[in-house]
């Protein structure tokens, strides 16, 4: 479906419907990738042969529980209807991403100079000066920083690379390490319902970079 390209005065609102509405309410967070993508921006350029929509100027995206913000967004769609979005920030700034976790009052949010969203695999990549946080309500629980952070919403597994490892160097130099702040978990005897108890994210193996294992 071609998005509208009619010019409008001032800030324009472009609603881009590029996915089928096939999600059940009970699985809203897991089915974010199946929700329509709504984009607000100052301008839009659509290239039919490339199936490419380029939004520029104060871009705001909502897709189910997903919210993204930046200055430039490129959206592609494959033959199966899967969406692929690349959000860029203004020079010196970082783009923003936020998504609700399945069945919990918890959110994953983060920043990067570039953010890539892959609707087919339901993964998000934060690139350059990357940072990702887990929040329980408005309370910060975990925080990780690195050059590249990849988060898989389906498996709830994330990986983090340091600047030097992301560049292909064999080891991280001083000041180029991955950093993480992990909140302590409640003891097993602490009363908490299954629905309200925080569920930790699972790093994929050890965080990249030399240093003692936790």
- Convert the pLDDT of each residue in 67-84 to its tens digit: 999 999 999 988 888 889
Tokens of 77: 């769609």
The CATH code of the domain that includes 134 is 2.60.450.10
CB 73 within 8 A of CB 55: yes
Find the domain containing 113 and state its range. 12-169+177-183+199-203
Whether residue 2 lies inside any domain: the answer is no
Whether residue 148 lies inside any domain: the answer is yes
Whether residue 45 lies inside any domain: the answer is yes
Whether residue 65 lies inside any domain: the answer is yes
pTM as predicted: 0.69
* Count of the separate structural domains present in the chain: 1
The average pLDDT across 31-49 equals: 88
CB 1 within 8 A of CB 15: no
Burial class, 157, CB count within 10 angstroms (exposed 0-12 / middle 13-18 / buried 19+): middle
Between strands 12-16 and 95-100, the pairing is unpaired
Whether residue 194 lies inside any domain: the answer is no
Whether the per-residue pLDDT at 56 is higher than 90: the answer is: yes
- Convert the pLDDT of each residue in 152-210 to its tens digit: 888 888 899 876 565 554 433 335 778 888 777 655 434 444 444 555 566 654 444 44
Whether residue 51 lies inside any domain: the answer is yes
């Amino acid at each position: 479906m071609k998005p509208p390209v009619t010019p409008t005065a001032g800030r324009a609102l472009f609603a881009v419907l590029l996915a089928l509405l096939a999600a059940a309410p009970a699985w809203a967070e897991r089915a974010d990738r199946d929700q329509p993508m709504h984009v607000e921006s100052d301008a839009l350029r659509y290239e039919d042969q490339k199936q490419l929509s380029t939004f520029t100027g104060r871009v705001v995206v909502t897709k189910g529980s997903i919210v993204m913000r930046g200055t430039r967004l490129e959206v592609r769609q494959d033959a199966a209807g899967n969406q692929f979005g690349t959000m860029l920030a203004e020079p010196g700034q970082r783009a923003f991403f936020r998504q609700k976790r399945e069945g919990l009052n918890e959110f994953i949010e983060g920043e990067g100079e570039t953010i890539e969203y892959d609707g087919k695999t339901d993964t998000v990549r934060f690139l350059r000066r990357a940072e990702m946080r887990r929040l329980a309500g408005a309370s910060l629980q975990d925080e990780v920083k690195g050059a590249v952070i990849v988060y898989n919403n389906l498996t709830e597994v994330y990986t983090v690379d340091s600047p030097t490892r992301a560049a292909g160097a064999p080891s991280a130099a001083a000041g180029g390490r991955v950093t993480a702040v992990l909140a302590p978990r409640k003891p097993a005897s602490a009363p908490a319902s299954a629905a309200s108890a925080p569920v930790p994210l699972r790093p994929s193996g050890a965080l990249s970079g030399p240093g003692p294992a936790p």
